[in-house]
Chains A and B, each alone.
Chain A
């Protein structure tokens, strides 16, 4: 299930009984096929494992995964959803010299590469290369993604997790100052926005249409979150279309001022996620930023976060130093030279500034260029800091559905689901970077989040796997036309059907205050359990604290039960107690108790 494999720190979630295909191929070892999963091809080959050397074995390809089982080392298996594959290349030719020089080279999106060697005689890789290429990149071959073929059934229906109206109601919206607008019901105002938008009560639908002409791709400022007490809001949008000539738009100016007025904020703060120079440069292509003259009651702050291309290159550098081998001699300076954690620091510190501004009572507007990458990172992180609901397992799902999926983060373009074009410049690990920021927060506040690290890793695994419909497509309008909700399963179905596996035992629910992480390099660290999880040398174990805590929880429950029994038996004749404590069938053997108790 998922992308579990050897060395995977997160054991695979239990699968639901799958109907095994009664194909006349060798049974697929210890892995149950998913309902809807079909065998495609088997092949004997050699896995060039970077940690254990060349390993003979058999690879099984289905329409969902690549599975490898070694005959040399039984502990080594690979279970890779085909969606994870970013690039497949042929390695060596029929006449290549050298052992194991002929085969396939596979680049994965989840920080690893796979290399298989085959026999050089008889074009032995031709068929497997062809099939793998076809099924790894189905959209490039006119085939559906696996999510549309899956027949999986879960107890919980993940599609019911998020309903925008319910979420706005939770925030006490609509209110006197804010209304829910249905203007985008058929995606006419903005085809990358969701259907329901929360806008100032004082702004008419006609106002919205006029503002949309001045905002890139019609992504007008709309409400993301409102502070329960001080009514300050986080609004999000795209850049204004100022252009070289420094155009102004009275409607847009008035609209922002209405947002400011809604809770009597004296100064509205506009957070432009970009570095100042980039915002200026955007004027050349018609974009830009809110000038001082035009928006007199607003302060503009640049948050200096770089663009998707910089982030992509940064992650590439990170992969170079952690896979297959961890750069050892100069680990810290190598890590620094990737800038990955510095980008994390900038994103977090931007979100901290936004959260701080809002909790002090001022409304804010957040945008970058189009308002679907950096903007989503900033608003969702600020909301995570401000609102403890989003720190619950369900609340986090709502946050992702709302700020990322609903507001049109371009998952298809950024991840490249089912697409063979690995060099596409639109690909970028923006969502991964956001999840990393969340992980950094969970690390700094280990009791404040209901979901655990495994939940985050699972989300990232299925960001690529194409097993669920959750992260497919660029925006709601396209999702609607492809009937994602009716034809695919939601990732939240998987997670919510097995909640216990994704819950942080240390979670303390009364943590309703604002959480400000420390955005200093002193505290930011590389997420080893994600980025270096394929390396068996890095020990992945359940944290001993967590283990001990769970033991204690179990012990407490046992004691409570025992106490209850004793209180019941107190009312019965006294002989009951004696038998109770001496019977060998007592629920708690003494030895077990001492074992657990002594460490303290």
Chain B
């Protein structure tokens, strides 16, 4: 059992075992009375600080701690070592905003206090006056910090503990988030210099529709959020929706365009309009909406209510809460204890299965668009959670542009940020007591993308490291990107600030967090780029036809299923009358069978990294995102191994090839080589070469305390109590050793 959770009070055994006795530490180093401050960010204010605090080093083998100052600012909880920092060979991948001993306030997941050897979960409001001897902080990026508070004066310890509890756990107002102090300091023109489309202007939307050859219409009536506060400033709807219908049910039930397939059919999403049998007006309106969607292409539509088949946001939250516990490891004993039933533990959380279900649903939608050329409308209560997951996944599978770095950022901006995913509520950035709205939906999406990246690496321009860093950035309160519930909320914060108009940097401005060298690790060195086609694509989208014809539709011809219609207006109407929200009307179980056939047909074709991409959903193919979840766990690090060993070989060879290219160019033999260097060099040689002994969790693991001793598993036999007869049998059954 993991000694996690707050049930420690009942147990008689201590649930926290200290590996360092205070005496041991004292003899090592006398606490010093000096305080240091971190380099504060503009707008950052220190609330409280205390010295000396002992921070346990994560590495159990060295069994020691470091003394230093613990402080809490409006941005972070920070620990500053008293020891003069040694030269740090692995700090190339340094985040400019926060260091390895900093925890942005939003990034704090749970606080635990150790009282009389018992570990207790701290919740805001309780235990205020009693401060623990040790404080354990679990972070949303899965780091674990342990601080010992017993070396400092009682008041000081109380002060810092209460300060941290207050700022990390108590509900706060949006205006208190650090981004609001940080925002003013940046010029308002900052964002426009980037290539990522923000989808807060009409041009961005029309450009996107042009790119995909969509034939829908842009709505400008919501510029000032008159139509709905839950819709983007600008959005796109089927051309056939009349102006009257647009404003009938403010914001609810409108089919919002996501993406157009080259065949002309398109993907739409909608929040659901509560329609009762008696409400004839709403029914008629819904029917008109469906017809409008159907008219987009060949008069066909498939409607999918995602909540009918996918887990809801509470399920997602519950599953992830269980899942992450297996990575927030306090000590080596916990690590090996949880290793025993590792696979079934993972399975029981259901997290991987939720990922699979989302991918599966996305494949079903892809099949519809690609094989049947049918318009698809996905719906969900709010239309901004699973709708965002599924529509984004569909686009990544079908549109190679979404697999480039910029294309992916555009997609997130389009579907999630402008698309009004309620980041503020879902991430519970404000520590609201009512956690019903909290759910890691965006992380779930990144998980699904990671599975695709894992399976088809050369199809993606961005790397696994990029996704990991992006998942961390959700909890860095310096950016405006993942801070709001809607475009409306964001705009009103902008306008109604007491300190005049604000502007937040976007997460996409990666130079805010990482220098150029570190950013090179965001690029996948294996990306198989299709240069020429991409160039053409930007001007004439027609090329898309050729690209996607790599999958002749004849390959997929199957008898048409019930529940979808082509050129049959009458039967559509009839059908709609009978069953208002027709779903995939096929017997239960068979979507899986159908997608399986679809996948197999696709798999038999030669793999085109610039064409349609489908995930394998078989058990062994669904994997754990090791880099994100295990990167801080010393027991799980492979010293000198892991995929980085290959990446560094690749980088090395690449360096040689480049040097040769330069040399050849100097000799005038090859003058066209400059063209190939239009994008940043993909792999920083210096970064990968710094140390011969990179850890498998490069670039995240700090590798100063590498031990040369192997990690030897403990608690082995517990897993393998084989009880049947076989275990006690002799190897050689037929012979008995003669007793001499």
Contacts and interface: CB of A to CB of B under 8 A. Distances in A.
B740 interface: yes
A598 B645 contact: no
B630 interface: yes
B723 to A, nearest CB: 11
A370 B667 CA distance: 68
B525 A373 contact: no
A216 B633 CA distance: 44
Contact of A309 (B343, B712, B726): B726
Interface stretch (A173-181, A225-233, A399-407, A549-557): A549-557
Contacts of B621: 538
Interface string A219-252: 0000000000000000000000101000000000
Interface in B709-735: 709-713, 716-717, 719-720, 722, 726-734
Interface in A309-355: 309-310, 313, 326-328, 330-336, 339, 341-343, 345-346, 349, 352-353, 355
B578 interface: no
Interface string B652-664: 0110111011011
Contacts of B708: 514
Contact of A562 (B636, B669, B676, B737): B669
Interface in B463-488: none
Contacts of A511: 640
A545 B643 CA distance: 10
A304 B717 contact: yes
A122 B641 CA distance: 62
B531 interface: yes
Contacts of B682: 600
Interface string A198-226: 00000000000000010011000000000
B352 interface: yes
Contact of A517 (B347, B638, B643, B734): B638
A356 interface: yes
A384 to B, nearest CB: 14
Given A277-B728, A349-B713, A526-B620, A445 B641 contact: yes
Given A506-B646, A537-B616, A538-B620, A518 B347 contact: no
B670 A213 contact: no
Report which residue of B335, B531, B637, B646 has the largest number of chain A beta carbons within 10 angstroms of its beta carbon.
B646
B650 A597 contact: no
B527 interface: yes
Chain B: interface size category: 35 or more
Interface in B345-383: 346-348, 352
Report which residue of B526, B607, B618, B621 has the largest number of chain A beta carbons within 10 angstroms of its beta carbon.
B618
Given A313-B726, A447-B646, A559-B661, A330 B739 contact: no
B619 interface: yes
Contacts of A171: none
A310 B726 contact: yes
A445 B640 contact: yes
A521 to B, nearest CB: 4
A218 to B, nearest CB: 11
Nearest to B644: A446
Nearest to B603: A539
A593 B730 CA distance: 63
Contacts of B740: 213, 241
A516 interface: yes
Report which residue of B531, B656, B727 has the largest number of chain A beta carbons within 10 angstroms of its beta carbon.
B727
B675 A549 contact: no
Report which residue of B340, B619, B682 has the largest number of chain A beta carbons within 10 angstroms of its beta carbon.
B619
Interface string B35-69: 00000000000000000000000000000000000
Given A538-B618, A539-B616, A562-B669, A448 B641 contact: yes
B341 interface: yes
Contact of A285 (B619, B654, B730): B730
Contacts of B188: none
A426 interface: yes
A107 interface: no
Contacts of A101: none
A600 B616 contact: no
A590 B638 CA distance: 42
B172 interface: no
B653 A553 contact: yes
Contacts of B660: 556, 559-560, 563
Contacts of B86: none
Contact of A356 (B529, B670, B709): B709
Nearest to A356: B710
B333 to A, nearest CB: 13
A114 interface: no
A544 B710 contact: no
Report which residue of A308, A541, A553 has the largest number of chain B beta carbons within 10 angstroms of its beta carbon.
A308
A513 interface: yes
A349 B336 CA distance: 12
B109 interface: no
B724 to A, nearest CB: 8
Contact of B656 (A217, A341, A556): A556
A536 B423 CA distance: 41
A446 B657 contact: no
Given A373-B731, A506-B649, A599-B527, A333 B716 contact: no
Interface in A112-131: none
Report which residue of B656, B657, B667 has the largest number of chain A beta carbons within 10 angstroms of its beta carbon.
B657
A35 interface: no
Contact of B670 (A368, A369, A581): A581
Report which residue of B624, B669, B681 has the largest number of chain A beta carbons within 10 angstroms of its beta carbon.
B669
A541 B529 CA distance: 19
A346 B716 contact: yes
A307 B737 contact: no
Given A506-B646, A563-B663, A327 B638 contact: no
Report which residue of A369, A514, A600 has the largest number of chain B beta carbons within 10 angstroms of its beta carbon.
A600
Contact of B650 (A538, A549, A556): A549
A261 B526 CA distance: 54
A600 B681 CA distance: 7
A140 interface: no
B36 to A, nearest CB: 36
Contacts of B624: 522
A580 interface: yes
A521 B736 contact: no
Given A286-B736, A307-B730, A349-B716, A518 B635 contact: yes
B339 A521 contact: yes
A286 B737 contact: yes
Given A309-B726, A566-B669, A581-B668, A545 B712 contact: no
Given A369-B730, A446-B643, A537-B600, A336 B620 contact: no
A597 B636 CA distance: 36
Interface in A556-590: 556, 559-560, 562-563, 566, 570, 577, 580-581, 590
B610 to A, nearest CB: 12
A275 interface: yes
Contacts of B733: 425-426
Nearest to A555: B657
B673 interface: yes
A4 interface: no
A153 interface: no
Given A553-B653, A556-B660, A559-B660, A581 B641 contact: no
Q: Which 6 pairs between the two chains have the least Cβ-Cβ distance? A: A331-B619, A516-B710, A521-B342, A559-B660, A286-B737, A336-B343
Given A309-B727, A597-B657, 19 more contacts: A241-B739, A309-B729, A330-B347, A336-B341, A342-B720, A369-B730, A446-B643, A506-B645, A508-B649, A511-B640, A522-B626, A537-B600, A539-B603, A539-B616, A545-B526, A581-B668, A597-B676, A598-B529, A599-B528
20 contacts: A282-B730, A342-B720, A356-B710, A370-B732, A506-B645, A506-B646, A515-B640, A516-B639, A519-B712, A522-B339, A545-B646, A552-B653, A560-B660, A563-B667, A566-B664, A570-B667, A581-B669, A594-B675, A599-B528, A600-B658
